[in-house]
Amino acid sequence: MSLQEILNHRRATRHYDPSKPIDPERVKQCLQLATLAPTSSNMQLWECYHVTDKAVLAKLAHACLDQLSARSAQEMVVFVTRQDLYKRHAEAARKFEEENQRRNSPAEKQEKRIKKWDLYYGKVMPFLYSRCLGVWGLVRKLLAQCVGLTRPIVRQVSEGDVRVVVHKSCALAVQTFMLAMSEAGYDTCPLEGFDSRLVKKALGLPHKVEINMVVTCGVRLPDGVWGDRYRQPFDETYHRV
Ligand SMILES: Cc1cc2nc3c(=O)[nH]c(=O)nc-3n(C[C@H](O)[C@H](O)[C@H](O)COP(=O)(O)O)c2cc1C
């Protein structure tokens, strides 16, 4: 399928064929492709839980408000954000960039570039992602306001803003996964109609993990897609400047 065909084929699927199981290995490959999605500052603060166990699927279906899409799913993937892992991920990215610069930058530019990444992942990212009851966000906001008086600056730096950033990046991985599944001939439906406490309980996830989306997976039944696709008129969405 071309990208255009994949995009047209992907539909939110609400009823899956019980006689058509899907290959967990193929789904895993699609999840591997999802890791190619971009993330803000390449922090990759997301994880996925690929559920194939029938007992856990039943608990998840209930946690997803017993929606038919979840009850009939052959497998499910729960995408979660892990902002709590920011220090570990920043340090891993810092180390990677050090080696990356040594491998790929001209010798005379290496040290300067390594220093830049040290500052970015060693100081800026830990400062941006740290949370403490909104206090760090307030400090960052005030700082951004002051710096912003004289030059352009990222202003979305409150703790709420940064949480949105992490969820945005995770959602890009979700979409990449759903497109990869479409290419594999499988169907999906992204769900945010779920009880996050029950989802965490079903998967044994800690409190600090946030559920981004649950994606149901399978092969659609003819009634699995609810008719034609509705989109707002394109000229209301598209603005050429
Ligand atoms: C963040 C998000 C949450 C969604 N949650 C649900 C849901 O809980 N239940 C459901 O049936 N569909 C859910 N959907 C699917 C949308 O309703 C669907 O994508 C939309 O109607 C467009 O249809 P299409 O995907 O077939 O183009 C969700 C979609 C997104 C992006």
Measure the CA–CA gap between 232 and 236, rounded to whole angstroms.
7
Rounded to the nearest angstrom, the distance between the alpha carbon of 30 and the centre of ligand 1 is 20
What's the farthest any 2 CA atoms get from each other in the chain? 63
What dihedral do alpha carbons 132, 133, 137, 142 form, nearest 10°?
Answer: -110
Rounded to the nearest angstrom, the distance between the alpha carbon of 156 and the centre of ligand 1 is 27
Paired sense of beta strands 210-218 and 75-81, if any: antiparallel
Task: Please indicate whether residue 196, judged by its CB atom, sits closer than 6 Å to ligand 1.
Answer: no
Q: State the pLDDT at residue 34.
A: 98
Q: Whose CA is nearest to atom 20 of ligand 1?
A: 12
Q: Within a 10 A sphere around the Cβ of 144, how many other Cβ atoms?
A: 16
Rounded to the nearest angstrom, the distance between the alpha carbon of 118 and the centre of ligand 1 is 40
Task: Please indicate whether residue 182, judged by its CB atom, sits closer than 6 Å to ligand 1.
Answer: no
Q: State the pLDDT at residue 89.
A: 98
- Which domains does the chain show, CATH number per domain? 3-85+161-237 (3.40.109.10), 86-159 (no CATH)
Q: State the pLDDT at residue 1.
A: 93
Reported as a single tens digit per residue, the pLDDT across 192-233 is 999 999 999 999 999 999 999 999 999 999 999 999 999 999
Task: Please indicate whether residue 126, judged by its CB atom, sits closer than 6 Å to ligand 1.
Answer: no
Which atom of ligand 1 lies at the shortest distance from residue 171's CA?
Answer: 1
Which atom of ligand 1 lies at the shortest distance from residue 65's CA?
Answer: 8
Task: Please indicate whether residue 69, judged by its CB atom, sits closer than 6 Å to ligand 1.
Answer: yes
Q: Which of 191, 194, 217 to mutate to test the pocket of ligand 1 (most atoms within 8 A of CB)?
A: 191
Spatial contact of 174 and 188, defined as CB atoms under 8 Å apart: no
Query: Which distant-in-sequence residues (6+ apart) come within 8 Å of 55 by Cβ?
Result: none
Spatial contact of 194 and 65, defined as CB atoms under 8 Å apart: yes
Task: Please indicate whether residue 189, judged by its CB atom, sits closer than 6 Å to ligand 1.
Answer: yes
Across the chain, which has 241 residues, the per-10-residue mean pLDDT values are 97 98 98 98 98 98 98 98 97 97 96 97 96 92 96 95 98 98 98 98 96 98 96 98 98
Measure the CA–CA gap between 205 and 202, rounded to whole angstroms.
8
Spatial contact of 80 and 174, defined as CB atoms under 8 Å apart: no
Sheet (strand 75-81) strand order:
46-51, 75-81, 210-218, 187-191
Q: Which of 179, 192, 228 to mutate to test the pocket of ligand 1 (most atoms within 8 A of CB)?
A: 192
What is the full DSSP assignment across the chain? --HHHHHHH--B-S-B-TT----HHHHHHHHHHHTTS--GGG---EEEEEE--HHHHHHHHHHTTT-HHHHT-SEEEEEEE-GGGHHHHHHHHHHHHHHHHHHHS-HHHHHHHHHHHHHIIIIIHHHHH--STTHHHHHHHHHHHHHTTTS------SHHHHHHHHHHHHHHHHHHHHHHHHHTT-EEEEE--S-HHHHHHHHT--TT-EEEEEEEEE-B-GGGS-SSPP---HHHH----
Q: State the pLDDT at residue 185.
A: 97
Rounded to the nearest angstrom, the distance between the alpha carbon of 220 and the centre of ligand 1 is 15
Rounded to the nearest angstrom, the distance between the alpha carbon of 166 and the centre of ligand 1 is 20
Strand partners, 80: 47, 211
Query: Which distant-in-sequence residues (6+ apart) come within 8 Å of 155 by Cβ?
Result: 141, 144, 145, 148
